[in-house]
Amino acid sequence: MRIQLFAIAATVLVAAPAAASEPANPAPPAAAAASSDAAPKAEKKICRWLNKSGTRMDEKVCLTKAEWKKIEREDY
């Protein structure tokens, strides 16, 4: 179960930066400042230590509460 959780967490961590790439033509600074006021605050990250297979060293994985819930739902 922990190995599957680690594999899913690793997949989420690898896929997240690719999905968060910036658009080719970023908005001007004035428009960016106006939109940042209306944007919701970033969710707090929750960090957990997960066992890596093949080693005695644990790995620290930090995800939002929603991401942890998604991983736990997929694990069962």
Q: Which helix (H) or strand (E) covers residue 49, if one does? A: strand 45-51
pLDDT at residue 42, rounded to an integer: 79
Q: What's the CA gap between 50 and 10, in Å, rounded?
A: 11
Domain ranges of the chain: 1-16+44-76
pLDDT in tens, 39-61: 567 789 999 998 888 888 999 99
pLDDT > 80? residue 24 = no
> Which pTM does this prediction carry?
0.43
Alpha helices in the chain (DSSP H): 2-19, 29-38, 65-75
pLDDT > 80? residue 19 = no
